[in-house]
Amino acid sequence: MSLLFSAVEANQIAALRNKKMKTLLIFFVASLLLSCNSRDSSSGNKKQLPDKFIVILGIVQDAGYPQIGCEKDCCKAFWQGKEEKKHITCLALVDRLTNQYWMFEATPDITSQLHELQSYLPKQDYSPDGIFLTHAHIGHYSGLMQLGREAMGANAVPVWAMPRLDSFLRNNGPWSQLVSLHNIDLKKLKADSSVRLNTTLNITPILVPHRDEFSETVGYKIESDKKKILFIPDINKWEKWDHNIITEISKCDIALLDGTFYKNGELPGRDMSEIPHPFVEESMQKFSALPASEKAKIVFIHFNHTNPLLKKISGEKDKVISAGFGVAEEGMIIDL
């Protein structure tokens, strides 16, 4: 679902409510980097879109929101009409000048995400110029099944994957059928080696530590001739990475970072060390000494259904925004 006002504007509203002038300054800086355009109610098209941009089509962890079998207050809020459905984390990179687009992740919500994406494109096109996968957890690749013979019957959609994931897809059904029937055209990635999409766009996979049962895990650097975007939806802990995350943030314009869980203990009765992620509280502490301009680059994404940052309004969301960071919203546009 597209926002009726920008994510940045929403953050500014929260800042005004709290009467924190420092936050207003931070989000003035952020507004120079992020924008989101409203839907034209008469035509369904987006107005004043940049020539090249990223649109966020989903913000949730692999199981979506509401999550299957959840009877907790977090998901009851949806069934009671207090919260809207949220889609699984997915980005689309759009170049309106060349009539091309690429998706980052093939989620279980790919049907609605591809439909929503049409209103951002110069013309209707359900066949991506490529799909870049991060790893083999269900929310990140299982949407590929919708490209198969039983569904869309796609024709050779390029799917970029790291070597272990490439092998997993080729040698395990039902994914292997997508390959044999040429619904997808697998293309092997190499860590830290760039893929040139066209004259102005480059994609570079970067290995990150994660639970790699079936494949390695990567984040992506998405670069235009003007901007650099860092996308890391899944990582164990920043300290486990052989890169310095603060240095990586300094090299980019926007950093979409793993915000799966807000804090430790969010899943009562479960050992959260079995599902390691950098808690948002940990990340905010780690980044607390950064100048306002650097904090404004950081946008948290990939929220578990228990994460209060998913809510329309929450004290935790206000806290993140007041600290100078961003919270991803569906429909957010990143101008490249």
Pairing of strands 254-258, 298-301: parallel
**List of residues 6+ apart from 284 with CB closer than 8 A:** 320, 323, 325
pLDDT in tens, 39-77: 333 334 466 899 999 999 999 999 999 999 999 989 899
Predicted confidence at residue 146, as pLDDT, reads 98
pLDDT in tens, 125-151: 999 999 999 999 999 999 999 999 999
Beta-ladder partners of 232: 257
Q: Would the pLDDT of 214 be above 70?
A: yes
User: How sure is the predictor about 273, in pLDDT bands with cuts at 50, 70 and 90?
Assistant: confident
Between 190 and 276, the more confident residue is: 190
Backbone angles phi and psi of 237, in degrees to 5: -145, 150
**Whole-Å CA distances, 16 to 21, 67, 242:** 8, 33, 39
CB 277 within 8 A of CB 294: no
Question: To the nearest whole number, what is the mean pLDDT of the chain?
Answer: 88
Give the C-alpha separation, 123 to 99, whole Å. Answer: 8
Q: Where are the alpha helices (DSSP H) in the chain?
A: 7-18, 21-31, 73-79, 110-117, 138-141, 163-171, 175-180, 245-250, 280-286, 292-295, 315-322
Predicted confidence at residue 222, as pLDDT, reads 98
pLDDT in tens, 13-45: 444 444 444 444 444 444 445 544 433 333 344
